[in-house]
Amino acid sequence: MDLLNRKGIPWLEKLPDLLLGLSLMSWAVAGIVQSWAEVSALIPVRLSLATLQVMVGMLIMLRPAAHEQGSAQAILLSLPSFIASGFLFRLAQPLAAWPFACKWVFAGSVLWVMAAFWSLRGSFAILPARRATVRTGLYRLVRHPAYLGEYVMACACAYAGASTWTWIYLAALLPLLVLRIRQEEALLMHDAAYATYKQSTRWRLLPGVW
Amino acid sequence: MSIDLNKPNEGNGGASSQSASNSSGPNYNDPNSSAEVREIFRFTYECKQKKMPDYQIEQSLMNRGLDPSQVASVMRIVNQAYNQSQASQQTDDSSGSGGGGIPRVVYYIGILVLINVLSAIFDWGFWIY
């Protein structure tokens, strides 16, 4: 209970984060149960994904309140990229049929994303919101390392799915991600620390490209 | 420029959010504060309302002759008033059901149900977090 009340946040205000965090953890369990019969689906894709979901759930439950929330417009413009990856993963079923390389590229990307989230910790947010600026770990290389890792996860799904639709979704995901990054950065630039960070870490997603 | 920023704070710790939202900060309606101080708080609050980044507001205040500690003091007070005003507006707009609108908790539950259903449809897959 102390965690929920830290920095004076009433526990009731933390309830949405608590429920969302528990939802993510339940998805991890549901995914493992679904793939339990097939070891080739469970390892490494489902297990790595479940670990990521548990971590995201924990981060959401434990994070402090944001200094500033994004506008309704920023949130709406960020949502399509959030959902597009779900379609990609669905189209890439069954997991057991994935090529060996795809499985391990996916799992490696999950580790990359988790490393980025570990650097974020209390500054983690799914929708645009302003919290403390993080410039350590993978955030020294690019300003959005988690999105980079998640896009590689999407690439693994698209390759494994190997249908026209998976490639269409993968191609559509990139501009949606760019849109989301622009919305987030417009908000984060309200903080002088982020403006300084932007000058020191030039690249947003891929060093040398963008 | 010599400005006593402590003066407007005296005896006026909690201006209502209503007064704050009427383009007034917590202090500059205090008759004891000088016109100059009132003008600084008014200017800072208007900048916040225009969504100007904090560092730009701080720079503007420095350009007006305030030293860094005075700037920090003004920003702290105005941010507090502004956040109270925003929170009050949000509460008026969407919390509870007294205003006849849909309570915020209903939105939360609706969104939670929706994303859980979508996640099940997507085979409990990953989202771009």
Beta-carbon separation of A34 and B124 below 8 A:
yes
In the DSSP assignment, the letter for residue B26 is S
Asked if A154 contacts A173 with a C-beta cutoff of 8 angstroms, the reply is yes
What tokens were used for A190? 């309200």
Helix (H) or strand (E) holding A68: strand A68-69
- A-chain residues near B123 (CB < 8 A): 31, 34, 89-90, 93
Asked if B21 contacts B11 with a C-beta cutoff of 8 angstroms, the reply is no
> What are the average pLDDT values for consecutive 10-residue runs of chain A, which has 210 residues?
46 81 92 83 86 93 85 85 84 86 93 94 86 90 94 92 88 92 89 88 91
Report the pLDDT value the prediction gives residue A159, as an integer from 0 to 100: 92
| Of A143, A139, A133, the residue nearest A190 (C-alpha) | A133
Report the pLDDT value the prediction gives residue A174, as an integer from 0 to 100: 92
What distance in Å separates the CA atoms of residue A161 and residue A172, rounded to the nearest whole number? Answer: 16
ipTM score of the complex? 0.77
- A-chain residues near B53 (CB < 8 A): 189-192, 195
Asked if B118 contacts A27 with a C-beta cutoff of 8 angstroms, the reply is no
Confidence band for B79, pLDDT divided at 50, 70 and 90: confident
Asked if A205 contacts A148 with a C-beta cutoff of 8 angstroms, the reply is yes
Pick from B51, B115, B123: which is nearest to A93 by CB?
A: B123
pLDDT tens-digit readout, B51-62: 787 888 888 888
Q: CA nearest A188 in B: which residue? A: B53
Sequence-distant (≥ 6) Cβ neighbours of residue B103 within 8 angstroms: B94, B95, B96, B97
- B-chain residues near A153 (CB < 8 A): 126
What distance in Å separates the CA atoms of residue A73 and residue A96, rounded to the nearest whole number? Answer: 39
Q: What is the largest CA-CA distance in chain A?
A: 52
Name the one residue in this structure whose structure tokens are 């698209």.
Answer: A158
Mean pLDDT of B22-39: 58
- B-chain residues near A173 (CB < 8 A): 128
Report the pLDDT value the prediction gives residue A5, as an integer from 0 to 100: 43
Q: CA nearest A130 in B: which residue? A: B53
